[in-house]
Structure 1
Amino acid sequence: MTSGSVDDALDQVRRMQTLVGDRLRFRGFSARARVIGGIVALVGGLALGLLHRPDSPFVHLVGWALVLFVAVGLNYGALLLWLLDRDRVRRRADWIPALESLPPLAVGAAFSLAFVRAGMFDYLPATWMLCYGLANMAFRRNLPVGVYLVGLFYLGAGLACLLIPGTSFTDPRPVGFVFGIGEIIGGYALLQRDGPGGQS
């Protein structure tokens, strides 16, 4: 085998790796929607903080529910529009990665309902961060490594909220800061990924 044929073979392998990597890359999540969701979380935390941190956890629960509603509407609305493209509906490989985040999010919703029913509001921030961290990490094969690192950030923040004494649900700073910064950085990671055919 000559040096030229080895170089040609290596070049073909590199092209194949690039082709496979492009096919695995999931482009359904919008960088713009994720950044806006992060800004909404920061503003939500600031707004709840301006209420002088009322002792009523239900005020904070309603506030964070509104933030969740807006962020989910933005992110999954953009995803739904992307998925409704006729060609994508037929290609199962294009929409299956979107479902990978659902198990940890469903677990987070179930734990949240259980904690609210039991009046254990202080466990909500840690639960949200931990489950959302796992949801971000579920995309390790299909999204940029930055999204995986944001998932690790959420896990670390969730563990800190869980283990540091005195963490209170009625202090909006941890949730607002963690989700605000995490979503903005996650959006930036998606923006680095986006090229032709991706969402911005």
Structure 2
Amino acid sequence: MSFGLHHALREVRELKRHILTKQRFKGYSGRARALGGCTALAAALAIHRGYAPADLASLLVAWGIVLAVSLVLNYGALVYWFLYDEEVGRDWQSLKPALEVVPAFAVGAVASFACIRMGAVALLPGLWMCLYGLGNLASRHVLPRKISWVGAWYIAAGAVCLLWPQWAWSQPLVMGSVFFIGEWLGGLVLHYDEAEGRTIWSFFGLPNLSQSYE
């Protein structure tokens, strides 16, 4: 009887794990996140070494380019997954977890514009880090649970930058390093989750075009 009870509990745990796996969102690419982190660090190094102008307009353009590259990488990988993963079947409902973080980033865009307009640009690094951390935490129910640690990293770093804003803004390596570490950590979390059965990998090595959508 004891053996039967343990067997039943094991089956319940396996069923629960299977359900959680099926609910997990597979549209994000760990490789794309890692490349985005490299872009942030490269921009910070270019500014720090004087290869890029350090005036306000140039800094905003530089970080805007970093954002644009990261969006292309991450959402490009998302589109690739949506089009070519047979399990998705181009079902628009599968994109719901990615769309749920859009309001938070929209608020971030408005807050960023307000800071620039009011001359409080020194608050931007901390603001961006905290909002990015909240986005990671908001996704913890559909991504591997360890993504919560990535969110905590961003929020902790953002809090420090908000408390010492002038230091954070004047040292581009601070923001570059925070996003490099955070995106690599997030990329590793997603990568090891991908290794547990995901077959569509893009933007890091050759994509698997043999599994094209029928």
TM-score when scaled to structure 2? 0.85
Partner amino acid for 1:25? Answer: R
1:84-123 CA-partner distances (Å, limit 9, x unpaired): 347523262x321112221221111110111112221101
Matched, 1:96 2:92: no
Q: Following the alignment from structure 1 to structure 2, what is the Cα–Cα distance between the partners of residues 165 and 72? A: 25
Q: Is the 8 A contact 2:36 2:183 kept in 1?
A: yes
Q: Is 1:119 aligned to residue 129 of structure 2?
A: no
Q: CA deviation at 1:183?
A: 0.4
Matched-pair contact (CA < 8 Å) for 1:30–1:187: yes
Shift of 1:8: 2.9
Flag the 1:169–1:83 CA change in 2: closer, same or farther, 3 A.
Answer: same
Structure 1 position 168, deviation (Å):
4.7
SS at structure 2 position matched to 1:62: helix
Deviates more, 1:140-149 or 1:60-69: 140-149
Aligned to 1:59: 58
Point out where structure 2 has 5 or more consecutive residues left out of the alignment: 202-214
Alignment partners' CA distance in 1, 2:124 and 2:140:
25
- Say whether the 8 Å CA contact 2:41–2:176 is kept in structure 1: yes
Give how far 1:198 is off: 5.1
* Per-residue CA distance 1:139-182 (angstroms, 9 max, x = gap): 11111233211111100111101112632524212110111111
RMSD: 1.9
Letter in 1 for 2:81: W
Q: Counterpart in 1 of 2:145?
A: 145
Asked whether the 8 Å contact 2:135–2:151 carries over to 1, the reply is yes
In 2: Cα distance, 1:29 partner to 1:151 partner: 16
Amino acid at match of 2:186: G
Matches within 5 A, 1:11-90: 11-51=10-50, 56-85=55-84, 88=88, 89-90=90-91
Name the CA shift for 1:168/1:199 in 2 (closer, same or farther; >3 Å): same
Whether the 8 Å contact between 1:133 and 1:151 is mirrored in structure 2 is yes
- d(CA) in 1 for partners of 2:165, 2:123: 11
**Partner in structure 2 of residue 128 of structure 1:** 128
Distance 1:80 1:64 in 2: 24
Instruction: State, as a whole percentage, how many aligned pairs show the same letter.
Output: 39
Matches of 1:173 and 1:37 in 2, distance apart? Answer: 15
SS of the residue 2:166 aligns to: coil
Higher mean Cα deviation, 186-195 or 168-177? 168-177
CA distance in 2, matches of 1:125, 1:74: 21
- Give the match for residue 182 of structure 2: 182
Map of 1:167 onto structure 2: 167
